[in-house]
């Protein structure tokens, strides 16, 4: 242990260190709140001027993060800023920035690279830099290390580099930042020790691994495991439907086996920032090693095809009532990517809505967690959530249950709808007006 390392470890353990969090979104904000609650001085960095202003005023745009918690953090000394030169004040810098795919389904590392380049001139001896963004094995070593060392610092001696993948499950009351075990990998042994010192105060259980690459692959395995199993159950749903079998009944029966089976449930596709994207990080990197990840790519194909399948079931249901999709009026329930959250990133519900719209139907949505759909590059239309009433439901030719928020009154919806396309298994009846998709 050298002097820079010893001083950093001591400051982190004594809660005298200043924690810098780069990216104040779904990952960065909960982390900020946790460190602030522990008594650390926290500086949050973001390029969104409005978000920074709102956070400094005690307001969060994220539904499950209360304004009261943000206000309490500000009272404890938390500051949000767009001034990245303040990175030099921080003893720890934690990167929580997006890692999307480009139009060729290849990793878009621009947010990680640009953020690192923004703080690069202000890095100094005795800091620990931790990347939390999901990425391919080798990112920390290949992209961050050369940039961190560009001005003469040496990773493992004067500055310490860590990869510790974020694990968040928004909307799940059973887990919070503190209680979710955290994987930590360092570029060197001293880096790993710095990472452990950074996170051990904030997280109940740490899982140290041998390298940043091992930590990066751990995160991908977690999400690929989920994506592959959802792909499997989505394919099973299509097979079961063709055979006239209720896949949800089958899953409920199968999960009574006390060993060797984990229940996964089908839906209209995959959503969120992780599950639809992360498998392609590994398939892209595997090609560098001459490998073709066929199993992973096949599950991706199945999952990406589900919105089209849902629309086909909607068309079948309307046909049975002597109607075509074109000219019909359709309501999509829920456009968040999963129940009880306000996050629309990669939401299959939005794609379902868009496909219905492009088929010539008049389409609206209702979502108690998302009041406005502002449009995006891929979906250049704007909509507002409509209230669910007896009159409004009866005005639609069909209702598509795309995201089954608990705030929906499903019995009321069933009683007042002409046709329901259920993609989430919310209804277990075999009523003539229900189509299971």
> If you search the block for the tokens 């990406």, which residue do you land on?
304
| CA pair distance 111, 336, nearest whole angstrom | 24
* DSSP assignment of 290-357: T---HHHHHHHHHHHTHHHHHHHHHHHHHHHTT--STT-EEEEE--SSSTT----TT-HHHHHHHHHH
Pairing of strands 92-95, 128-131: parallel
Q: Which residue has the tokens 């992973």?
A: 296
Contact status, residue 332 vs residue 365, Cβ threshold 8 Å: yes
**In the block, which residue shows the tokens 């456009």?**
335
Left if phi > 0, otherwise alpha if psi is -120 to 50, otherwise beta: which for 209?
beta
DSSP state letters, 154-211: -BTTTBEEEE------TT-TT--GGGS-EEEEESSHHHHHHHHHHHTTT-S-EEEES-
Q: Which of 90, 96, 191, 274 is catalytic?
A: 274
Let me know if 191 is a catalytic residue.
Answer: no
- Residue 192 neighbours by CB distance under 10 Å: 25
Using alpha carbons, select from 11, 80, 9 the residue that is nearest to residue 49: 80
Any idea which residues carry the catalytic annotation?
274
């Amino acid at each position: 242990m050298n002097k820079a390392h010893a001083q950093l470890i001591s400051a982190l353990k004594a809660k005298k260190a200043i924690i810098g969090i780069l990216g104040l979104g779904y990952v960065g904000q909960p982390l900020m709140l946790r460190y602030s609650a522990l008594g650390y001085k926290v500086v949050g960095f973001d390029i969104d001027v409005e978000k920074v202003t709102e956070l400094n005023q005690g307001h969060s745009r994220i539904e499950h993060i209360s304004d009261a918690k943000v206000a309490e953090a500000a009272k404890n000394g938390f500051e949000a800023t767009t001034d990245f030169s303040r990175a030099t004040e921080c003893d720890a810098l934690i990167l929580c920035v997006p890692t999307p795919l480009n139009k060729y389904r290849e990793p878009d590392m621009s947010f990680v690279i640009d953020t690192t380049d923004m703080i690069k001139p202000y890095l100094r001896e005795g800091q620990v830099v931790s990347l939390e963004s999901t990425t391919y094995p080798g990112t920390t070593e290949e992209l961050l290390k050369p940039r961190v060392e560009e001005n003469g610092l040496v990773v493992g001696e004067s500055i310490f580099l860590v990869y510790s993948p974020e694990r968040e499950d928004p909307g799940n009351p059973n887990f919070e930042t503190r209680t979710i075990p955290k994987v930590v990998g360092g570029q060197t042994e001293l880096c790993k020790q710095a990472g452990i010192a950074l996170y051990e105060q904030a997280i109940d259980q740490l899982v140290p691994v041998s390298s940043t690459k091992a930590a990066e692959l751990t995160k991908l395995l977690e999400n690929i495991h989920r994506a592959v199993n959802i792909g499997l159950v989505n394919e099973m749903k299509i097979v079961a439907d063709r055979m006239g079998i209720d896949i949800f009944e089958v899953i409920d029966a199968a999960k009574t086996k006390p060993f060797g089976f984990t229940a996964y449930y089908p839906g209209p596709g995959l959503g969120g920032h992780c599950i639809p994207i992360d498998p392609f990080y590994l398939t892209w990197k595997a090609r560098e090693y001459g490998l073709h990840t066929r199993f992973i790519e096949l599950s991706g194909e199945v999952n990406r095809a589900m919105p089209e399948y849902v629309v086909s079931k909607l068309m079948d249901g309307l046909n049975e009532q002597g109607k075509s999709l074109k000219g019909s009026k359709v309501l999509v329930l829920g456009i968040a990517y999963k129940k009880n959250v306000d996050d629309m990133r990669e939401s299959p519900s939005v794609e379902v809505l868009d496909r219905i719209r492009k088929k010539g139907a008049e389409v609206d949505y209702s979502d108690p967690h998302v009041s406005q759909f502002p449009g995006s590059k891929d979906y250049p239309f704007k909509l507002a959530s409509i209230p669910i009433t007896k009159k409004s439901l009866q005005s639609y030719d069909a209702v598509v249950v795309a995201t089954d928020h608990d705030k929906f009154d499903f019995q009321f919806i069933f009683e007042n709808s002409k046709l329901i396309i259920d993609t989430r298994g919310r209804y277990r009846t075999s009523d003539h007006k229900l189509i299971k998709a």
